[in-house]
């Protein structure tokens, strides 16, 4: 029996299998509002048969967007736009849906990737960025403003109200974005955080604000709504955030009721040296899972069904995340189920497409 296609329960939310669609920025919103692109994109993925669909990084404040085209959830209008998308999807798909709540910190105010991705100056339609310390992501960028206590309080409130909006929308789980060099990751890493107050210096201090956000969001929504987090387990730079610190952070998260941890890496600095290859981040997830017992999502060049099956069967992670691979093949779970002699859910409109010899591929009950 395929372990990849066994159900898995996170804080009362049962996923039909261990395949997670990782959040992937689409840079297709209008003033933070979801558009018809999101309806097509998420609607397509909701038919894939995966166990969980995580909506892309969604900014909790306008200045927390990576680009002006980022999705947001900070107002009644952004909430209403996302509701339109979700209501349409739910007419035809029962796939569990989560959302990643984010603040880009010093990596905000940039052009969309296909327009170069460079930081946009305020006079060109960008905005002033904020961060733990007045250190830019790269030398050619403007210094961000170091957050004071009022700024921290405002951002924490943004996460809380966005989480409450997500719950009101019927979204079933929340993932906080503390990876890839964005604000919460910036607090964790000594390369981006050189503060001398209670939010900088020691590991305990650098963890303080991300832990406060997790605790506040956890308290703001019902216990039936899992609240997890995505981290970069290492900066891939000597002297930066690393796996040992990630284990300590994960243990503290678990004590606060964190439901799962989604283990990625990198993104804090252009100086990173990442040994990219198939499954290159899986060992990070495996270590954190072993040291903390937190439900863990492994991600990073997991492309083959047999590869994903081995990760689950060997106990390296509880779930596997797919990103670019499922954009390339939006029916990846169907094809994986066919290879692994398993079943997958599909809409009845598609049941007749099962290839000859695979007449039990779809769960038709």
Instruction: Name the residues annotated as catalytic.
Output: 182
Q: Which of 153, 150, 128, 152 is nearest to 141 (CA)?
A: 128
The token pair at 138 is 């790269």
Helix 332-339 crosses helix 305-313 at what angle (to 10 degrees)? 70
Task: Label each residue of 348-359 as H, E or C.
Answer: HHHHHHCCCCCC
Cα–Cα distance between 259 and 56 in angstroms, integer? 19
Burial degree of 354 (CB within 10 A; 0-12, 13-18, 19+) = middle
> How far apart, in Å, are the Cα atoms of 245 and each of 50, 257, 288?
31, 19, 10
Proportion of the chain in helix, strand, coil states, percent, rounded to 5: 35, 15, 50
d(CA 58, CA 71): 5
The secondary structure of 104-140 as a DSSP string is -GGG-SB--GGGT-PBPPGGGT----EESSS--SSTT
* Closest CA relative to residue 134, chosen from 117, 120, 151: 151
């Amino acid at each position: 029996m395929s372990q990849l296609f066994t159900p898995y329960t996170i804080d009362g939310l049962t996923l039909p299998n261990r395949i997670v669609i990782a959040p992937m920025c689409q840079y297709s919103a209008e003033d933070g509002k979801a558009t018809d692109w999101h309806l097509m994109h998420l609607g397509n993925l909701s038919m894939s048969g995966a166990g969980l669909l995580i909506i892309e990084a969604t900014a909790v404040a306008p200045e927390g967007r990576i680009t002006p085209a980022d999705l947001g959830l900070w107002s009644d209008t952004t909430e209403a736009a996302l509701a339109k998308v979700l209501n349409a999807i739910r007419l035809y798909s029962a796939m569990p849906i989560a959302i990643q709540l984010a603040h880009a910190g010093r990596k905000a105010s940039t052009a969309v990737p296909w327009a170069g991705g460079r930081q946009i100056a305020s006079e060109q339609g960008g905005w002033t960025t904020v961060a733990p310390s007045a250190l830019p992501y790269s030398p050619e960028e403007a210094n961000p403003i170091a957050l004071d206590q009022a700024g921290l309080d405002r951002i924490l409130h943004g996460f809380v109200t966005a989480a409450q909006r997500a719950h009101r929308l019927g979204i079933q789980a929340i993932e906080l974005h503390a990876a890839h060099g964005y604000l919460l990751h910036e607090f964790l890493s000594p390369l981006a955080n050189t503060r001398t107050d209670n939010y900088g210096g020691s590991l305990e201090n650098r963890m303080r604000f991300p832990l406060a956000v997790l605790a506040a969001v956890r308290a703001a929504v019902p216990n039936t709504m899992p609240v997890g987090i995505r981290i970069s387990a290492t900066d891939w730079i000597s002297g930066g955030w690393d796996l040992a610190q990630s284990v300590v952070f994960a243990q503290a998260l678990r004590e606060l009721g964190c439901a799962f941890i989604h283990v990625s890496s990198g993104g804090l600095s252009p100086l990173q040296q990442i040994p990219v290859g198939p499954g290159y981040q899986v060992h990070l997830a495996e270590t954190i899972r072993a040291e903390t017992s937190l439900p863990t999502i492994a991600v990073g060049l997991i492309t083959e069904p047999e590869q994903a099956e081995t990760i689950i069967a060997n106990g390296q992670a509880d779930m596997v995340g797919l990103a670019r691979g499922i954009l390339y093949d939006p029916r990846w779970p169907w094809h994986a189920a066919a290879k692994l002699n398993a079943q997958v859910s599909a809409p009845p409109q598609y049941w007749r497409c099962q290839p000859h010899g695979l007449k039990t591929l779809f769960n038709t009950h």
